[in-house]
Structure 1
Amino acid sequence: MSKSKVYCEPFCIQKGYSFEIHHVSYQADDPYSCFMHFHQVHEIIVFEKIDGTYFYSQGQSQLKDQDIVFIPSLETHDFELTADTKSWYIIQFLPEFLSQQALPELDSFFQQGMHLRMDTSQLESFSIQVKWLLDSYQQDPYSEKSLTILKLILIWLAEHADPVKPPQLTTVQKSANYQRLQPVMNLFRHQAAVELPLDEAASLCHLSPSYFSRLFKSVFRCNFSEYANQHKLYSAARLLSQSNMSITDIAFELNFSSPSHFISLFKKQFGLTPKKYKTEMESRIRA
């Protein structure tokens, strides 16, 4: 993972920050992977170059250049992107930022996941604001200027962006086929590692193991054991980037069978060892 390629999925805001912003870019055929996941912070992604599909609470929709997505705290989401060149800005901010900055009128807008598009005339001004925010953040993320620009961006989105609607959006069927998985997903939302056999997970959702397996894969596009394993690895990435815990302590904290097994799985998922990952993240934070 090069310094210019920030994985958005494993990270949340650094302790003491109200928000973070990064610019992410991939050349054609650069490795990129994602899985159905969630954050404990609100997230805005402003795409520059993109081709793929966005999966979120409202359904799924096709992404195109200059699209914007908003993902609220604890909402599961995923991206399936082509191997073409792609780039975006990612902004993560604390849910309480709106009340802290006296913006309660925006609460109703930022309630659920949204795939947004903006009129060209408004998009040009919005894109400039995002670049201003990145520049100000790199100078001083605590400054009044940084916080003011972020407030402007949120106000601009609420006033000028429109959600994508059918037929561009394929809506989720709000039925037992989706809702019955929520008991087990609530465990993932509140635990860094979920050690639950498939039959117990199915029982928690009042489903047979075979039906639970089929249902889980249809919703999350991977099987339950794969999701549980990836959830642990993404939790490990957060701990590496946000704590002083050793690799050994993280391995045992998240119930990996051994530190060596943890290192092997982590390298397979992220393309580098936990030690190298932590070093590169510390370098990015200092930059």
Structure 2
Amino acid sequence: MPLPLKPEENIYIDHKILDGTYSMPTMQAASDHYTIGYMVSGDRRWISTKAIRTSHAGDAGISKPHVYHRNCSMSDTPYDRYVIKVKTQIFQPIIDIIGEEELDFICSNYLHFTKDSQKIIHSMYEEMLQEYNKNTSYSQLILQGMVYKLFFYMYENHIPSEEDEHTLYINKFDERIQTSLCYIEDNLMDGSSIEDVAAYVSLSPSHFSRLFKNVTGSSYTDYITDVRLQHTQILLGTTDLSINDIAAKVGVSNGNYISTLFKKRYGITPTDYRKEIKKSM
């Protein structure tokens, strides 16, 4: 479980750079605070009792207390992230202004930003970390104002992303399915067959298939295809691997097959997609 805030603190902030393969070992939920996280680098799948979503460098996420979640690796890229914990009563003025319904909407997906906005947000987090580490008698009061400034900058400047189209909203919570989702990410290269995943959570393939559809609203086949294509996108943008090597890394034996799936889904070949990514860097 995330540690609660110290009695004398309303705001906590830290910055960590973790190995890209790091995954949270269990589901966790905050008890007394909201969390505002920002990812400088990395690729993560966020799994909660409410949704399955993905995040990448430059994305921010807001989590409410008592919402169990877990994130796992989608690439080897170092997981560089900032986390701010805000005590519930300090966060309440934000809710009073935007409303609970709007907050739920913001929390349902990661927030995405332009490159210019990412630089501003990164600098705001760094400034807050410096103030937190000063730990003067008035640092906590200063940090409260900085939290409000950060939140409303994010609120006013976030932009839509095609990643949001891949968010799956959970119909009901089932620990076996949540466990299987991280197993899929960790074993994608080996194929993540439905037989292997079902066995990992001690279910028959047929039972697992029905349960997966009931919980996620997606068939296992559609879900694993989507995961493979998301990993293919990441690898095209972060490596110089051939499409055959990428196919092997996402659990597909045939590079032509993954190319066909990729073009059907995104309307562009993997080669052209890689060229577009390099142009934008």
- Normalising by the smaller structure, the TM-score range is 0.5 to 0.7
What are the within-5 Å matches in structure 2 for residues 68-217 of structure 1? 68-81=60-73, 82-99=75-92, 104-108=96-100, 109-111=102-104, 112-140=107-135, 142-143=138-139, 144-162=141-159, 168-174=165-171, 178=172
Which of 35, 49, 54 pairs up with 2:26?
A: 35
CA distance in 1, matches of 2:154, 2:166: 19
CA distance in 2, matches of 1:154, 1:140: 22
- What is the one-letter code of the residue matched to 2:128? L
What are the within-5 Å matches in structure 2 for residues 202-241 of structure 1? none
CA distance in 2, matches of 1:123, 1:115: 13
Native 8 Å contact 1:68 1:115 kept in 2: yes
SS at match of 2:167: strand
* Structure 2 stretches lacking a partner, 5+ long: 176-202, 217-281
CA distance in 2, matches of 1:26, 1:102: 31
String of CA shifts for 1:22-51, please: whole Å, max 9, x gaps. 00112456x553322211221111001112
What are the within-5 Å matches in structure 2 for residues 5-20 of structure 1? 10-20=2-12
CA distance in 1, matches of 2:132, 2:85: 12
- What is the one-letter code of the residue matched to 1:34? P
Which of 59, 64, 67 pairs up with 1:67?
A: 59
CA distance in 1, matches of 2:148, 2:94: 10
CA distance in 1, matches of 2:51, 2:95: 28
Native 8 Å contact 1:53 1:62 kept in 2: yes
TM-score, scaled to structure 2: 0.53
Native 8 Å contact 1:48 1:66 kept in 2: yes
Quote the sequence identity (%): 12
SS at match of 1:117: coil
String of CA shifts for 1:72-104, please: whole Å, max 9, x gaps. 1111211111444211001111122133x5772
Shift of 1:113: 3.8
TM-score, scaled to structure 1: 0.52
How many residues matched? 177
| Structure showing the higher helix proportion among its residues | 2
Across the aligned residues of Structure 1 and Structure 2, the Cα RMSD in angstroms comes to: 3.3
Shift of 1:117: 0.6
The aligned residue for residue 267 of structure 2 is none
- What is the one-letter code of the residue matched to 2:83? I
- What is the one-letter code of the residue matched to 1:157? M
* Structure 1 stretches lacking a partner, 5+ long: 1-8, 183-209, 221-287
Q: Are the structure 2 counterparts of residues 139 and 102 from structure 1 closer, same or farther at C-alpha, using a change threshold of 3 Å?
A: same
Q: Are the structure 2 counterparts of residues 167 and 46 from structure 1 closer, same or farther at C-alpha, using a change threshold of 3 Å?
A: closer
